[in-house]
Structure 1
Amino acid sequence: MYIFDENNLAICAIVTVGMQLVFFLVAAGFKFDKVTDFAGGTNFVVLALLTFFLAQTWNVRQIYVTAFIVVWGLRLSGYLLYRIIKIGEDKRFDDKRTDCLRFAGFWTFQAFWVFTVSLPVIFVNAPSSASKPNANIWTPMDIVGIVMFVIGLAVETVADMQKFNFRNNPDNKGKWCDVGLWKVSRHPNYYGELTLWWGMFIISTSILTGPQWTAVLGPLFITAILLFLSGIPMLEKSSDERYSKNPDYLEYKQATSPLIPLPPSLYKKLNYGLKCFVCCEFPLYNYLNKTGDVETGTSEIGGSTGGDENEANGATTQPKPNGNQANERTRIITPEKI
């Protein structure tokens, strides 16, 4: 088998498609939202364990990489499953539950997302990687990648806990979350997600050779999803629609980094060039016109990613606007997700 697929890509693709197909049939048959994010997160765990045990080479890098993904995947999928059970239904699928083709499109995208983002892990666990010069040697890339992964996982976990606790406090109904990490970033969970996946790729560079460098597609894909498609743009649009008349929200948006955690006092002083090219404050995150109203005619990008698609962030001092608060995390599934 290894002669034709020494990186186990084929079996990973088959398992991913099969797993997502089974969950899709359950979700479509019962018009059931509660397994979508769980299916994505656990699929990462399945691929990591599958490739690890198929290789049977047991080197240190394979062990800790697999362990990292298992911890991340179980934590994320468990959190998302608990959250959707508590919420009741996923608003992302309000226009898809009765449209089988559109619903299937989501699951197809999710399968592609899981497989692509898992590439660094698949290549680290590939049987061929065990015979490479750095297979059992710690490299600087291992250290850098481990630090990034641990920081990213910690930030994502803390941000999710802070948002969840904020949403569950009745006193905060109708408010946007600006506590803890959400004071210094409008989307700290996405910052954590991107940091850990870029860390995983950096770890994999210790053994990547030839075609295996396609592993870079993993972090590039999730970055594109979260920054430009169904991640931050969708959330920013939702927030602007809800709080465009609130001067405190406008101040919050001006003073708070969209992604990279920074003190508001520092971020507010940066010129637009630095905000855009260094801090990812892209023009597409602004749905307000010069009068402070939300611009019309902006289309909402579909898809999913692993993050917070239906949430709304806000300001430091907050009156209570009317209306229900949006869900705080999507999946890139933005995957929350990734």
Structure 2
Amino acid sequence: MGTVIDSHFLALTAIVTVGYQFLFFIITALLKIDKVTDFAGSTNFVILAVLTLVVKGSWHFRQVVLSLFVIIWGLRLGLFLLMRILRWGEDRRFDEMRTNLGKLAVFWIFQAVWVWTVSLPVTIVNASDRNPSVQARDIIGWIMWSIGIFVEATSDQQKLLFKNAEENRGKWCNAGLWKYSRHPNYFGEILLWWGIFVAATPVLKNAEWLVISGPIFLTLLLLFLSGLPLLEESADKKYGNVSAYIHYKRTTSPLILLPPSLYGNLPSWFKSTFLFELPLYSRSLPRESWNRRQQGNNAAKIS
């Protein structure tokens, strides 16, 4: 009866996710450390993928492939973020949370929701009895994931090397893929999770299509809450009075990889409508810097 009731593993994955995140919440609350936060989130994805694959036990090709995609992504990102925080020290996102149990609890609850929701496409695929042959949607999804993981891993490594170089102390990263996007790592992450969803669609039926909420939730999270807004605000406060940074921001796409020569000459309405150049990402620019940026945009329009 229990198997019938939770045939999609929704309750199982929710219980495991809440338990796993609660364990790390206790650790961070007692020890007042934040070095394991991102590791706890990334590895939770791996646990859910392996758990649902093993519990179902059908080992269909599509289930194995998508589970491996999540395992590779989760382990790569989790280990990268863990080693980075161990090297760089504390995570400034938690400066106001370490001594505030309520705010800390809200963060961990939100992280549990993030893991469970974004994992939904793989959870449903692993729980499904349907096993249609490989379709074009599978291949398209696999290609999207492959490009996404490459972009995310490459940009993460490029930024790490840039920040570790002594001559780059106090500079913003504009090397490698960061020449073409202000946040290429987030572009890669969004792309790979949409790829997983696309590759999951051949088995989806009726209400199962609601798993699209996974990549949608991730995209909205990075675009409007914990991703781009926080990093743009931080960079604007540090470099907002530097003319070279204003030029970089005006000519570099916030998310999608594009040549600066192309992006810099696009009209503002096009950038904001189609390329996610939102006013939200410039709210912390000093007024003089904002005026210079607007003048640059106007000059681009005239030319």
TM-score w.r.t. the length of structure 2 is: 0.93
Q: Does 1:251 align with 2:247?
A: yes
Q: Is the 8 A contact 2:241 2:286 kept in 1?
A: no
- Structure with higher RCO (Cα < 8 A, 6+ apart): 1
Higher share of residues assigned helix: 2
Distance (Å, rounded) in 1 between the aligned partners of 2:117 and 2:47? 14
Q: Give the structure 2 partner of residue 214 of structure 1.
A: 210
Distance (Å, rounded) in 1 between the aligned partners of 2:207 and 2:166? 53
Q: Give the structure 2 partner of residue 142 of structure 1.
A: 138
Correspondent of 2:158 among 162, 168, 191: 162
Q: Give the structure 2 partner of residue 45 of structure 1.
A: 46
Q: Give the structure 2 partner of residue 286 of structure 1.
A: 282
Distance (Å, rounded) in 2 between the aligned partners of 1:84 and 1:239? 19
Question: CA-to-partner distance for each residue in 1:197-233, whole Å, 9 max, x for gaps?
Answer: 1101111111111221110110010111111112111
SS of equivalent residue, structure 2 residue 6:
coil
Q: Is the 8 A contact 1:59 1:136 kept in 2?
A: no
Distance (Å, rounded) in 2 between the aligned partners of 1:97 and 1:293? 34
Q: Give the structure 2 partner of residue 151 of structure 1.
A: 147
Distance (Å, rounded) in 2 between the aligned partners of 1:176 and 1:113? 29
SS of equivalent residue, structure 1 residue 266:
helix
Q: Give the structure 2 partner of residue 108 of structure 1.
A: 109
1:269 maps to a residue whose letter is N
Q: Give the structure 1 partner of residue 12 of structure 2.
A: 11
Distance (Å, rounded) in 1 between the aligned partners of 2:155 and 2:286? 30
Distance (Å, rounded) in 1 between the aligned partners of 2:233 and 2:30? 32
Question: CA-to-partner distance for each residue in 1:28-63, whole Å, 9 max, x for gaps?
Answer: 111121111110000000000000001111110001
Report the more deviating stretch, 283-292 or 18-27: 283-292
Distance (Å, rounded) in 1 between the aligned partners of 2:99 and 2:125? 41
SS of equivalent residue, structure 1 residue 125:
helix
Distance (Å, rounded) in 1 between the aligned partners of 2:33 and 2:282? 34
1:168-317 aligned at under 5 Å gives the runs 168-287=164-283, 288=285, 290-292=287-289
Question: CA-to-partner distance for each residue in 1:276-295, whole Å, 9 max, x for gaps?
Answer: 1221111211123652269x
Q: Is the 8 A contact 1:159 1:188 kept in 2?
A: yes
- Report deviation, 1:273: 2.2
- Report deviation, 1:71: 0.4
Report the more deviating stretch, 147-156 or 29-38: 29-38
Q: Does 1:63 align with 2:64?
A: yes
Distance (Å, rounded) in 2 between the aligned partners of 1:189 and 1:293? 26
- Report deviation, 1:2: 2.1
Q: Give the structure 2 partner of residue 91 of structure 1.
A: 92
Q: CA RMSD in A?
A: 1.2
Distance (Å, rounded) in 1 between the aligned partners of 2:87 and 2:172? 19
Q: Give the structure 2 partner of residue 324 of structure 1.
A: none
Q: Give the structure 1 partner of residue 36 of structure 2.
A: 35
- Dislocated runs of 4+, deviation >6 Å: none
Q: Is the 8 A contact 1:162 1:179 kept in 2?
A: yes
Change in CA separation of 1:156 and 1:46 when aligned onto 2, cut-off 3 Å: same
1:244 maps to a residue whose letter is G
- Report deviation, 1:136: 3.9
Question: CA-to-partner distance for each residue in 1:256-311, whole Å, 9 max, x for gaps?
Answer: 000001000011111122211221111211123652269xxxxxxxxxxxxxxxxx
TM-score w.r.t. the length of structure 1 is: 0.84
Q: Is the 8 A contact 2:255 2:276 kept in 1?
A: yes
Distance (Å, rounded) in 1 between the aligned partners of 2:37 and 2:248? 32
Q: Give the structure 2 partner of residue 24 of structure 1.
A: 25
